[in-house]
């Protein structure tokens, strides 16, 4: 009652006040949209340029003023990049490598994290040690790894590359899943054990579905990392096992930069990642454990 009374007694703004209020709102609105517009331009501008370059005839690449949209768009760069210049090979290799890395990294990461979270494997420090593996700049180990791989005959080998990527993505997977399992009430699995599950069933039927958001994040990270990794791919592959980033980089040679081809292949490489992004978005939002336990 008191609140209602207070509201009723509050004087209405006079005409002049209302105008000032309105103007301020308008200024704020304009600023906000200007900012959002700039930001979008910053994000989408390069993407647009990649797209437009991929359908430009060669003559339009470097004109002044630039060609914003070609008069006669062409798909020739796509067929050249994919068929003649090993684009398909790159995409196929990338897909294989990223697929292996995603599956292995998530499976091994989940098992390791579950063991660390539930059985205190490695005591207090193992989890942090695992994370610390990400602190080292990867370039520091390029040469040793090249030498090791040469000894092991793993150069230009998709599985060799995948194994290395697993090593790089595993710390993130483990850490991600570890935090998920840590915050999951242990009683859920105990209930499952009493209800008739084995340890593996409890992990598979109860803990795993509840950790889905974590699994999706870890998988997305592993996939995107492997899909975009350039440094090690460049050093460790040459022919058979080249991945998309390496193929694209080879288009930009000394004599002739094949802007159209590199843009076309870039565009093709973006599609799976973009698709994945949309898929993952939905799963990342919700915390599934809500309502599991009381208190």
- How far apart are CB 216 and other proteins at their closest, in Å? 14
Nearer to other proteins, 202 or 248 (CB): 202
Nearer to other proteins, 163 or 197 (CB): 197
- How far apart are CB 284 and other proteins at their closest, in Å? 16
| CA separation for the pair 178, 32 (Å, rounded) | 40
Terminal CA-CA length for the chain: 34
| CA separation for the pair 73, 239 (Å, rounded) | 32
- How far apart are CB 217 and other proteins at their closest, in Å? 17
Nearer to other proteins, 17 or 195 (CB): 195
Overall size of the chain counted in residues: 295
Q: Encoding tokens for residue 22?
A: 């309105």
- How far apart are CB 110 and other proteins at their closest, in Å? 16
Interface residues toward other proteins, by CB under 8 A? 185, 187-188, 190-198, 201, 206, 209-210, 288-295
**Collapsing DSSP states into helix, strand and coil, what is residue 257?**
strand
Nearer to other proteins, 190 or 240 (CB): 190
- How far apart are CB 201 and other proteins at their closest, in Å? 7
Nearer to other proteins, 201 or 250 (CB): 201
Taken in order 32, 38, 41, 46, the sign of the CA dihedral is: negative
Question: Counting beta carbons within 10 angstroms of the beta carbon of residue 19, is it exposed (0 to 12), middle (13 to 18) or buried (19 or more)?
Answer: exposed
Nearer to other proteins, 212 or 252 (CB): 212
Q: CA 147: distance to chain centroid?
A: 30
Q: What does the DSSP 8-state code read for residue 211?
A: T
- Inter-helix orientation angle 259-285/87-119, to 10°: 30
User: CB-based contacts of 231: which residues, under 8 Å, 6+ apart?
Assistant: 138, 139, 142
């Amino acid at each position: 009652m008191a609140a209602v009374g207070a509201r009723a007694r509050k004087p209405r703004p006079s005409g002049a006040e209302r105008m000032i209020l309105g103007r301020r709102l308008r200024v704020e609105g304009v600023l906000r949209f200007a900012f959002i517009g700039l930001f979008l331009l910053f994000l989408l501008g390069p993407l647009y340029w990649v797209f437009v370059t991929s359908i430009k005839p060669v003559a339009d690449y470097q004109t002044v003023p630039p060609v914003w949209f070609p008069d006669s768009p062409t798909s020739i760069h796509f067929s050249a990049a994919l068929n003649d210049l090993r684009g398909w090979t790159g995409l196929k290799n990338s897909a294989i490598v990223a697929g292996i890395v995603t599956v292995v990294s998530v499976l091994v990461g989940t098992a390791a994290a579950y063991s660390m979270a539930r059985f205190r494997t490695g005591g207090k420090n193992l989890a942090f040690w695992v994370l610390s593996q990400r602190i080292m700049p990867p370039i520091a180990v390029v040469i040793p790894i090249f030498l090791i791989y040469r000894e092991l005959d793993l150069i230009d080998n998709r599985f060799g590359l995948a194994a290395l990527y697993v090593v790089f993505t595993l710390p993130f997977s483990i850490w991600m899943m570890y935090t998920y399992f840590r915050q999951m009430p242990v009683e859920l699995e105990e209930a499952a054990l009493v209800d008739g599950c084995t340890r593996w069933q409890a992990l598979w039927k109860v803990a795993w579905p509840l950790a889905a958001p974590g699994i999706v994040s870890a998988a997305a990270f592993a996939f995107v990392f492997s899909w975009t990794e350039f440094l090690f791919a460049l050093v460790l592959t040459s022919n058979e096992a080249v991945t998309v980033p390496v193929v694209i980089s080879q288009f930009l040679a000394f004599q002739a930069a094949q802007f159209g081809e590199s843009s076309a292949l870039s565009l093709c490489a973006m599609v799976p990642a973009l698709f994945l992004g949309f898929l993952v978005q939905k799963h990342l939002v919700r915390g599934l454990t809500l309502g599991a336990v009381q208190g």
